[in-house]
Amino acid sequence: MKKIILNMFIVIILLSGCQNNVVEQKPTPTGNDAFITQEVSTTAQDSSERIGIISNIIFSGFPFSLDEPWEREFKLQFEKTIDPDEYYKSNTELITDTFLSKIADTRHTLITKYIEVITNESYTNIEQSFWGLLNKYELTKDTEFFYLICEFLSTTDYDCITGFHEMRIKYYKEYYDKYWNGSLYGNSMETQYQQYGGSILTSMYLSDYDAEERIKYMYEIVNKCPYYSEIVPFLLSQTDYITKDYENEKLLEGDVYNYIDKLSNEVEELSLYINNNDKAKYITSIYLLSIKYEYTATIDKYYSYMCDLYGEEAVKKMEQY
């Protein structure tokens, strides 16, 4: 898959200063990093296990897959540089005040080193390496570079790249325009649909794009997706943004009704392919959303189904809520 032939000696040299040459950006990690940190303090027992846990945390947020032999060597050589005492007070107690920032800094350094190998260039920090990767793609139009850009934009911290959301919107739109036919290698198409589609809409929301334009693009993404099982979860993932847009008077009531109708229609299509538990979960979500916005069309449509599912008394309580 990769076109790069890497001398392992180069990897060792690149990683030799990984613990000392930390990049300048110091974002505060969130999400999985915070969760994993809680687990580490109770599971680490000895030095080798602590090294393994630290490596797993760092690479769990690494944007690029490490499938090729040289990539596995890249990871192995990094693990040899890990000093667990820089992360732990004891075998089981983390240095909690610096652990997450050190993990993020180290990950950024590794991303920079990785892109240096890919592009055969040197960079000062993660932002500079991203622009180097971008320039390589624009000069060559090599899909390998494009795929790496997409992966970078799907996982990297927002605040470490100037213009992050604008770049994500630009290149994910290019992805849907050019590569949605499966010609771009990497994750499964189902995974890319959820990951890239959700990311571009999030960036459009956070960049204060016109709400109607964002919703229109959401439907365009849905219409391109051949995987029925992915469409409804994808649409439901956008409910919070649509709710906020309506509350902030960026969307009209009719826009919300159209969204609910779209969800309902997709569930009808999907009902032939999913089990009853998933169907119940989706219809319940639609019903509660319909109650919230007093959309009688779907309330009436699913009332009998909901009563059969939960009982009439429970459904009445839902409506009161």
pLDDT score recorded for residue 187: 55
Walk along the chain (321 residues) and give the pLDDT tens digit of each residue. Answer: 444 433 333 343 334 444 444 333 333 344 334 434 444 443 556 788 889 999 999 998 888 888 889 999 999 999 999 998 888 887 778 888 788 888 889 999 999 999 999 999 999 999 999 999 999 999 999 988 998 998 899 877 778 899 999 999 999 999 888 877 665 555 567 777 778 888 999 999 999 899 999 999 999 988 888 777 788 999 999 999 999 999 999 999 999 999 999 999 999 988 888 888 999 999 999 999 999 999 999 999 999 999 999 999 999 998 876
User: Is 17 a domain residue?
Assistant: yes
User: Is 133 a domain residue?
Assistant: no
* Structural domain total, the chain: 2
pLDDT in tens, 28-68: 344 334 434 444 443 556 788 889 999 999 998 888 888 88
CB atoms within 10 A of CB 160: 19
pLDDT score recorded for residue 182: 60
pLDDT score recorded for residue 36: 42
- 116 contacts: CB under 8 Å, gap ≥ 6: 14, 122, 123, 129
Domain end point (choices 121, 143, 174): 121
How far apart are the C-alpha atoms of 288 and 319, rounded to whole Å? 8
How far apart are the C-alpha atoms of 90 and 50, rounded to whole Å? 10
pLDDT score recorded for residue 160: 86
pLDDT in tens, 154-188: 877 778 899 999 999 999 999 888 877 665 555 56
Domain end point (choices 82, 106, 121): 121
User: Is 20 a domain residue?
Assistant: yes
User: Is 1 a domain residue?
Assistant: yes
pLDDT score recorded for residue 184: 59
- Name residue 290's amino acid: S
How far apart are the C-alpha atoms of 271 and 262, rounded to whole Å? 14
DSSP lists the bridge partners of residue 154 as none
User: Is 196 a domain residue?
Assistant: no
pLDDT score recorded for residue 40: 43
* The length of the chain, given as a count of residues: 321
User: Is 95 a domain residue?
Assistant: yes
- 192 contacts: CB under 8 Å, gap ≥ 6: 150, 175, 184, 186
User: Is 188 a domain residue?
Assistant: no
The answer for 46, left when phi > 0, alpha when psi is -120 to 50, beta otherwise, is beta
- Domain span including residue 2: 1-121
User: Is 265 a domain residue?
Assistant: yes
* pTM for this model (two decimals): 0.74
- Name residue 4's amino acid: I
Domain end point (choices 121, 149, 171): 121
pLDDT score recorded for residue 157: 78
The b-or-e profile of 214-246 (16+ CB within 10 A means b, else e) is: bbebbeebbeebeeeebbbebbbebbebbbebb
